[in-house]
Amino acid sequence: MCNEQKTKSSVPFYYKQAQYLQSDIIVVMKKLKIEDLPNHHAILIVSSERDYIANDFWVNISDNSVPNRFFNQTVLDIDTVRELISWSNTSFSSDKKAIISFHTITVPAQNAMLKVLEDPKDGVSFILITSNKNSLLPTVISRLHEIKIQDTRSKTQDDVEEFFGAEQTERMKLKLVTNLLSKEDEMGRKDREAVRDFISSLISYGRQNNLESNKLKKLIEMESYASDPSASGKMLFEFISLYLPVIKK
């Protein structure tokens, strides 16, 4: 389903200053603006803040006189990519852009997208924004100009420290946990992506703070369970809350 939004996200995002690396990957370290993007027909942005970035970009190009499009899905599917292809093949008198925001993308959708990435129409450009680069096929990545964002200290990092610092029996009462478990995705379902991303942040924090290897392995196992639509986020957090040791800064 195409989600065309014109409401700017109220949560700002900031990054450090830009630094250019070999292999055309730009590590951005300041607030990223759509007008600062390189002149390339297909750009890939990888960031945990994909929703904020995508909505901010859309606000800046959602002029009704130009048929720019905004696709925002947790799982980008083949039907949406077919709609994207139809849009890209429709002629228009000026340049046009598509913002495509997703956490994962199906293999059939990627195979269908390859054609427009390989042989784009004049004046058509694509901005792909994902929080999970691992879901992309190498053949797709090879056709994209990647921008990797190194986020500065975020609220997520503060939440992770708060979670680890809380007593085990108090963790389920934390506002950050209740907010995560009540959060819904754009389809009105429980937001599996948010739960999985938070567990991923717990893993990173655990590694940085020399968490025991067996506990890290269990966290990684919980992260994989979080991707299963049938898994209970509440049960995952109840287990993690009691299993992880208290780490105070």
What pLDDT, in 10s, does the model give residues 9-36?
333 333 333 333 333 444 444 467 788 7
Residues 187-196: what's their mean pLDDT? 76
Does the pLDDT value for residue 188 go beyond 80?
no
Domain count for the chain: 2
Q: Are residues 143 and 160 in the same domain?
A: no
167 and 108 in a common domain: no
Which domain covers residue 169, as residue numbers? 155-243
Q: Is the pLDDT of residue 247 over 70?
A: yes
CB within 8 A of 124, min separation 6: which ones?
Answer: 41, 88, 95, 96, 97, 98, 116
pLDDT at 17: 33
Residue 99 in tokens = 């913002």
What global pTM score does this model have? 0.59
Summarised one tens digit per residue, pLDDT across range 123-138 is 999 999 998 888 899 9
pLDDT at 95 over 60: yes
Six-digit token pair at 66? 């130009």
Within a domain: residue 223? yes
Same domain, 30 and 145: yes
Q: What's the order of all strands across the beta sheet hosting 124-130?
A: 19-20, 26-28, 145-149, 42-46, 124-130, 96-105, 69-76
- When pLDDT is averaged across residues 41-63 and rounded to a whole number, the result is 86
Q: Is the pLDDT of residue 1 over 90?
A: no
Query: Is the pLDDT assigned to residue 76 strictly greater than 70?
Result: yes
Between CA 161 and CA 155 the distance in angstroms is 10
Closest CA to 241 of 219, 224, 211: 219
At residue 51, the pLDDT reads 83
- If you average pLDDT over each of 4-18, 56-70, 179-193, which comes out highest? 56-70
Quick one: 140 and 161 in the same domain?
Answer: no
| Pairwise pLDDT comparison (230 vs 155), residue with the higher score | 230
10 falls within a domain: no
Q: How confident is the model at residue 64 (pLDDT cuts 50, 70, 90)?
A: low
Higher pLDDT, 190 or 116: 116
Do 141 and 161 lie in a common domain? Answer: no
Same domain, 186 and 142: no
Phi-psi domain of 85 (left: phi exceeds 0; alpha: psi -120 through 50; beta: other): alpha
Q: What is the pLDDT of residue 218?
A: 93
Give the end of a domain, one of 149, 166, 198. 149
